[in-house]
């Protein structure tokens, strides 16, 4: 099928890396794996970070013009796609194009990941909230990658409206390509090798770094080293947070995906509190490399980690829980090895591209059949 793809928060070819860009690229990879002909319909970024009403109004006008231009082009010069697929719709980055184009061309509109924040109904993002709600209600189906969004979306769309859940995924092969049998677990004199991969910015990310540093400060009886992969505007604050640990903490900066995968394969445990983590993609990556993980027990992380089997999840309101989890894996190498093997199998079976491609293909074909059947009924 021909699929029009759009990511209003961040286009898959945006120069700045992020989890959103990574998931957008993974979706394109899954569509290609399912043999669909996919085109990026627009690169308009509708993101409004600060709740600026003037910016939102301007973006809405630009979106309307772009939607009209796309409709004219596809009506006159190019066969229209069979489905419009938008990744990530929410109040700060509403879809200003897809609902209009799909309505005008009579094609299904599908959104992957849509989230609702009711308190924004009257806030500075009220316009974006209203537009996001409209897109959510119009969609032929919503595909949820984060299961914690399901209940709110059902309330908006109604219990009978189609709603699908799909496991988040990565290209597992990209993280196992350099793997040569069992991972190296030899003691290099620095004890257990911990790894963190995360952006450095204010808010939940910085709070997660501080929680991790606090946990490490209580591990007087454990020999450990930590590598941190990531960069961002809060790097100075992050470095200061870990300053007391000296050379036990290494800052790797922003790394290419291949280097991140290599660092994961050369680590014993991946650790990240993941406060307010929507989708725990980095936890899938670590597990794909055969590395057990320790994370906060929140919706996005709990959806991709099997507690006690592929890693340990801890309550974020218990600061000493992270201490206990790290200590447990530090002193139990056989447990680490079992968890690592299970984690790799778990990532391949549930969170790899082929599984996602098959699930996505079934959903899209069902949506097209339903739209075709509906159109036939109305034509009679």
Q: What is the pLDDT of residue 373?
A: 87
Q: Does domain 2-169+353-379 have CATH number 3.40.50.300?
A: no
Main-chain dihedrals φ then ψ at residue 225, nearest 5 degrees: -135, 150
Question: Per-residue pLDDT averaged across 98-102, rounded?
Answer: 97
Residue with the two structure tokens 């139990």: 332
Contact 119, 154 (CB under 8 A): no
pLDDT in tens, 16-46: 878 788 889 999 999 999 999 999 999 999 9
Does position 257 have pLDDT exceeding 70, yes or no? yes
Q: How much is the pLDDT for 120?
A: 87
Q: How far from the centroid of its chain's Cα atoms is residue 352's Cα?
A: 14
Contact 266, 184 (CB under 8 A): yes
Per-residue pLDDT of 170-190, as tens digits, reads 989 888 865 544 445 545 556
375 compared with 204, residue with greater pLDDT: 204
For the chain, percent of residues with pLDDT exceeding 70: 95
User: Residue 192: CB partners within 8 Å, gap ≥ 6?
Assistant: 222, 223, 224, 225, 268, 269, 326, 329, 330
- In this prediction, residue 69 carries a pLDDT of 96
pLDDT for residue 76 = 86
All CATH 3.40.50.2000 domain ranges in the chain, comma separated: 2-169+353-379, 172-350
- Residue among 278, 296, 285, 292 at smallest CA distance from 210: 296
What is the distance between the alpha carbons of residues 116 and 95, in angstroms, rounded to a whole number? 13
Mean pLDDT of all residues in 87-100: 96
State the chain's mean pLDDT as an integer.
92
- In what order do the strands lie in the sheet containing 109-114? 37-40, 2-6, 83-89, 109-114, 141-144, 163-165
Tokens 């089997």 map to which residue? 309
Q: Are strands 192-197 and 269-272 parallel, antiparallel or unpaired?
A: parallel
On whether the CB atoms of residues 94 and 8 are closer than 8 A, the answer is: yes
Label residue 377 by pLDDT band (50, 70, 90).
low
Specify the pLDDT at position 181. Answer: 43
The residue among 109 and 189 whose pLDDT is bigger is 109
Tokens standing for residue 33: 């794996």
The two tokens of residue 365 are 């074909």
Q: Are 267 and 291 in contact (CB under 8 A)?
A: yes
List, edge to edge, every strand of the sheet that includes 311-314: 249-253, 224-229, 192-197, 269-272, 293-296, 311-314
3-class secondary structure for 117-131?
CHHHHCCCCHHHHHH
Mean pLDDT of 124-153: 93
Residues 111 and 5: their CA atoms lie apart, in Å, by: 10
- d(CA 298, CA 321) in angstroms, rounded, equals 14
Is it the case that residue 210 has pLDDT exceeding 90?
yes
* CATH class of the region 172-350: alpha beta
**Residue 252 in contact with residue 225, Cβ under 8 Å?**
no
Map tokens 């990240």 to a residue.
Answer: 272
């Amino acid at each position: 099928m021909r699929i029009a793809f759009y990511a209003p928060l961040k286009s898959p070819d945006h120069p700045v890396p992020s989890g959103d860009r990574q998931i957008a690229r993974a979706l394109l990879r899954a569509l290609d794996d399912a043999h669909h002909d996919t085109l990026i319909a627009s690169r308009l970024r509708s993101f409004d970070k600060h709740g600026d009403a003037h910016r939102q109004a301007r973006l809405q006008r630009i979106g309307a013009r772009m939607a009209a231009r796309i409709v004219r082009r596809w009506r006159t010069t190019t066969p229209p796609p069979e489905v419009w697929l938008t990744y990530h719709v929410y109040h700060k980055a509403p879809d200003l194009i897809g609902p209009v184009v799909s309505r005008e061309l009579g094609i299904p509109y599908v959104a992957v990941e849509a989230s609702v924040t009711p308190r924004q109904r009257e806030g500075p993002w009220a316009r974006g909230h209203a537009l996001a709600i409209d897109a959510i209600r119009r969609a032929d189906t919503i595909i949820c990658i984060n299961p914690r969004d399901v209940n709110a979306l059902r309330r908006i769309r109604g219990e009978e409206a189609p709603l699908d859940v799909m496991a988040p995924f990565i290209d597992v092969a990209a993280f196992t390509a350099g793997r040569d049998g069992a991972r190296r677990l030899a003691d290099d004199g620095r004890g257990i090798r911990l790894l963190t991969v995360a952006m450095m910015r204010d808010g939940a990310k910085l709070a997660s770094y501080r929680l991790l540093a606090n946990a490490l400060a209580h591990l007087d009886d454990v020999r450990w080293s930590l590598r941190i992969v990531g960069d961002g505007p809060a790097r100075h604050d992050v470095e200061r947070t870990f300053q007391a640990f000296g050379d036990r903490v290494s800052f790797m900066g922003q790394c290419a995906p291949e280097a991140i995968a290599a660092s994961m394969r050369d680590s014993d445990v991946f650790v990240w509190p993941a406060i307010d983590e929507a989708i725990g993609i980095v936890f899938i990556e670590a597990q794909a490399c055969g590395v057990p993980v320790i994370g906060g027990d929140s919706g996005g992380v709990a959806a991709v980690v099997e507690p006690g089997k592929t890693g340990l999840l801890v309550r974020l309101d218990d600061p000493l829980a992270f201490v206990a989890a790290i200590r447990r894996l530090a002193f139990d190498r056989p447990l680490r090895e079992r968890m690592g093997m299970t984690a790799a199998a778990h990532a391949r079976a549930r969170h790899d591209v082929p599984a996602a491609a098959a699930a996505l293909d079934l959903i899209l074909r069902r949506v097209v059949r339903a739209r075709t059947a509906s159109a036939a009924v109305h034509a009679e």
